[in-house]
Amino acid sequence: MISIIIPVYRDADALARTLAATDLSHAELIVCSTPQDESLAALRRARPDVIWVDAPRGRARQMNAGAAVARGEWLLFLHADTRLPSVWAREIEDAAGQADEAGGRVGIGCFRFALDSGSPAARLIEMGVRLRVALFALPYGDQALFLRRQLFERLGGYADLPIMEDVDLVRRARAHGRLFRSRLPAVTSARRWERDGWAGRTARHLALILLYFCGVPPGRLVRLDAARRAHPNTPDGRMYL
């Protein structure tokens, strides 16, 4: 069995589209939200096939809460605004098969990043992500990360970080095997890039990951990012970072 764990916070419409977009009937579906998120009430009633888990706010905490009740041998962590390819389960089967081959052990897997936009900027971002994954074996959570539940538990799950929890998990999981990269796309909504600006959001992502690898604590990164979004430019035109 494969358990799909979806953290969500006040994003019922995106979650409803994701649940309806792909056949997930042969997986254990677990959605983790905060008890205060009343926007999901109608969807909860409409989807009794989903295991609904209440957890404190925070993606890492919610995903850990979902994993705690999961029964699947493999855990797949899916963002609420990301759609899996139609044959997604086959890719995990391939990863599982390779994990049993001598020298082919898989630590963690991901799908190819794609955006649901026809903008040329979207294609450039997708190319940049492919380059990052190829050079550094570093996918992000919007690529639908998956790994064996046994390994996830051995790692202690996601670290309780306010940001970069996916990067931290990938780095720790890779110590137990190589990264499996599916050629099939997990398609993420481009709405946040369209809202924030293609260049602005991409630059912010790059700045945050560079600061993280320079040793800036995740809590500090969150405060810096919040200040930058609230006040995008200083009086002399420089960015807050």
Domains of the chain: 2-190 (3.90.550.10), 197-241 (no CATH)
Measured at the alpha carbon of residue 46, what is the angle toward residues 42 and 50, in degrees to the nearest 5? 110
**CB burial of residue 195 (10 Å; 0-12, 13-18, 19+):** exposed
What φ, ψ does residue 6 adopt, rounded to 5°? -120, 110
Locus of tokens 């790059």: 206
Q: Indicate whether 240 pLDDT > 50.
A: no
Listed in sequence order, the DSSP H helices in the chain are 12-21, 41-46, 59-69, 88-99, 120-136, 149-155, 165-174, 191-196, 198-213, 218-230
**Is residue 106 within a helix (H) or strand (E), and if so which, with residue range?**
strand 106-115
Q: Indicate whether 50 pLDDT > 80.
A: yes
The predicted structure's pLDDT at residue 24: 86
Amino acid at site 203: A
**pLDDT band, residue 234 (cuts 50/70/90):** very low
**pLDDT band, residue 99 (cuts 50/70/90):** low
The answer to whether the beta carbons of residues 143 and 85 sit under 8 Å apart is no
